[in-house]
A = this chain, B = another copy of it.
Amino acid sequence: MIFVPHAITGKLLRINLTDKTAKEETIPMELYKRFVGGRGLAAWYLWKETPPGVDPFSPENKMVWGTGPLTGLPIQTAYTNWVGVTKSPLTYGYCRNRCVSYFGVMMKKAGYDMIIWEGKAEKPTYVIIDDGHVSFGDATKLWGCTTDLTQIVMQEITGPGFEYAVIGPAAEKLVRYATVQSGTRSFGRGGHGAVMASKNLKAVAIRGTGELTMANPEKVRELSREQIKQLAASHGTKRMQQLGTTNIHGMVNKLGDCPYKNFQSSYNPKHEKIDEERIKYTVRHAGCGHCIISCWKYVAVKEGPYAGAWCEGPEYETQWAFGDMIDNDDFAAIIKANQLCDQYGIDTISTGNVVAFTMELYEKGILKKEDLDGLDLKWGNMPAVFELLKKIAYREGIGDILAEGAARAAKKIGKGAEKYAMVVKNMEMPGYEPRATVAHGFQYLTNTIGPVHSIGYGTQEVFQRPWAVDPRTFDGKGELTAFNQNRLAYMETVIWCTFAFRSEWHDPKLLAQIFAAATGWEEFSTVDTFMVVGERVWNLERAFNVREGLTRADEHFPDRIMEPIPDGPAKGCHWTRELENKLLDEYYKARGWDLATGWPTRAKLEQLGLKDVADELEKLGKLPK
């Protein structure tokens, strides 16, 4: 195995917050060979360095932030991508976030492929990483500040030229789905922000001025031209340029795939009112450097009750969470909800889902006005929603319970509330109906990070790309899901943006060639080799979850998914527990895992070069006989 270390730094930065030390370490070449970078390498360090059963909020939990070989290089759909992994306080399993702020670029240019955060600062702290120099500052006064102000004050402190990753008040209150905000982007799902808060780490500033090299820049340029040609010719790109991810809203609804009123239906009859509203509110298209897709949108509300509200977004998921999911058809109100979530630092998907859950409890009479601090939480009552967001972020009144997430809140509330918590593994489900798109939904059960749309996206069902698959059938969907998961694990290891791969511009061969040209790592000039990395990473992540207690019994949908969808294009569609079991069997089999437990087998792990993982699991009694 020949490896020319272009496009990697070979170094990690270990920052211990307990004793305020920072040291550089070499990342062994053996690890690059196994995990390449990004999500794969980050997952390895988390696996290796955290003790089994670690409390997510304890100093022993770690956050591993990583760049990939392509991060920071002038390559379409790759430039800004970086990741962070930790143990989630929402799922108590593996938590991975991908982010497209410029923080990753700075990290790479500062000389680090990875940053490992460990320990816990004695008091609120900010950290400045300025190329090789790390300093620690007192963030006591910043504690409690919203994420927008925190980044502005950090800029006062550092001067220009830095990028930031910060938390808001929700993380400080240990809201279990609190985010890390970086610029206008975030580590959204799974509560990474709350982990950061538990370490008393309020903000990180980073500046890197190093130059990154490529093995064969001429070749990269040539292949990039082809990639740009493909992207530019794509209808999908045009839609993304126009509407960003919200371009799919109408299509998803028409597919009967859009959870409505807390999954009461999968079709929003009023969806057309908000389908393409983002166009009207967009004041500026933006995006990552070196990407013509330009999917970011700055939107502003210029009149009406929410005049003055703005955000960068909302993505499709947020549009769904604060639109369809809570029966709100005022796009301006979605913008305001997005802005508040960003400022407080809470995940829009989990938050919108939790709000919908609360609204259904209110509808069903399980929660009354007096339980809700007087809020009239009927469907679509957005002023009440804004109040509720604040209560969640600051853990005031009912917000203190809801800050635990729908699953834990339902247990506290009782009275049959659990029926309405639309969760898998304690995490709230995102904006696609598992009854209408079976493989895309099945990933919710089996993903290593819980029900997250982006980590095993069923493009074949939702977009009929790269090949067409009937979204309603069950046969073969276990296997298809495993493929999609492996594919995205490889993407996030390199790191490619998932949008490089989702629609009709899908050309994995080209991406593999670009990677090889940039890194000089010729071994990875074919897709097949890369898919092995994806599978290896997935198995490693699964091993982490198994170590933390995961078994087959955890992989099931809420009861509502067993009920037929009452109306809309997917009317009558539903899962059964038999189908669930059948697909789990099929999936575990496709993965080479044990059917009884859903645990990876020694054979599979060794086949993937993860003998050390198998040994460790065996020691813990978590390897199938």
Contacts and interface: CB of A to CB of B under 8 A. Distances in A.
Interface of A: 141-146, 149, 152-153, 156-157, 160-161, 169, 282-284, 286, 298, 300, 302-303, 307-308, 310, 340, 343-344, 390, 393-394
B145 A310 contact: yes
Q: Which of A282, A286, A310, A394: most chain B CB closer than 10 A?
A: A310
A242 to B, nearest CB: 14
25 contacts: A141-B282, A141-B283, A142-B284, A144-B300, A144-B302, A144-B303, A145-B310, A146-B300, A146-B310, A149-B300, A149-B310, A152-B298, A153-B284, A153-B298, A156-B284, A156-B286, A157-B284, A160-B160, A160-B161, A169-B302, A169-B307, A307-B390, A307-B394, A308-B340, A308-B344
Given A149-B298, A169-B302, 20 more contacts: A141-B283, A142-B283, A142-B284, A144-B300, A144-B303, A145-B302, A146-B300, A146-B308, A146-B310, A149-B283, A149-B300, A149-B310, A153-B283, A153-B284, A153-B298, A156-B284, A156-B286, A169-B308, A308-B344, A308-B390
Main SS at interface, chain A: mixed
Contacts of A143: 302
Nearest to A387: B305
A344 B307 CA distance: 10
Contacts of A157: 284
A2 to B, nearest CB: 39
A396 B492 CA distance: 49
A300 B160 contact: no
A343 B303 CA distance: 14
Contacts of A286: 156
A146 B302 CA distance: 8
A95 B321 CA distance: 49
Contacts of A344: 308
Given A283-B141, A283-B145, A283-B149, A156 B298 contact: yes
A395 to B, nearest CB: 11
A139 B142 CA distance: 35
A141 B149 CA distance: 25
A156 B145 CA distance: 24
A207 to B, nearest CB: 12
Contacts of A300: 144-146, 149
Contacts of A146: 300, 308, 310
Nearest to A309: B146
Contacts of A161: 160
Contacts of A393: 308
A151 to B, nearest CB: 11
* CB-CB nearest 3 A-B residue pairs: A144-B302, A141-B283, A149-B310
Given A146-B310, A149-B283, A310-B146, A394 B303 contact: yes
A18 to B, nearest CB: 25
Q: Which of A149, A169, A302, A344: most chain B CB closer than 10 A?
A: A149
A404 B569 CA distance: 54
A290 to B, nearest CB: 14
Contacts of A302: 143-145, 169
A343 to B, nearest CB: 6
A209 to B, nearest CB: 14
Nearest to A299: B149
Contacts of A152: 298
A284 B393 CA distance: 23
A298 B394 CA distance: 21
A138 to B, nearest CB: 12
A302 B344 CA distance: 11
Contacts of A307: 169, 390, 394
Contacts of A156: 284, 286, 298
Contacts of A144: 300, 302-303
Contacts of A343: 308
Contacts of A283: 141-142, 145, 149, 153
A105 to B, nearest CB: 13
A598 to B, nearest CB: 43
Contacts of A149: 283, 298, 300, 310
A355 B144 CA distance: 30
A340 B308 CA distance: 9
Contacts of A390: 307-308
Contacts of A169: 302, 307-308
A583 to B, nearest CB: 44
Contacts of A284: 141-142, 153, 156-157
A394 B309 CA distance: 13
Nearest to A142: B283
A337 to B, nearest CB: 13
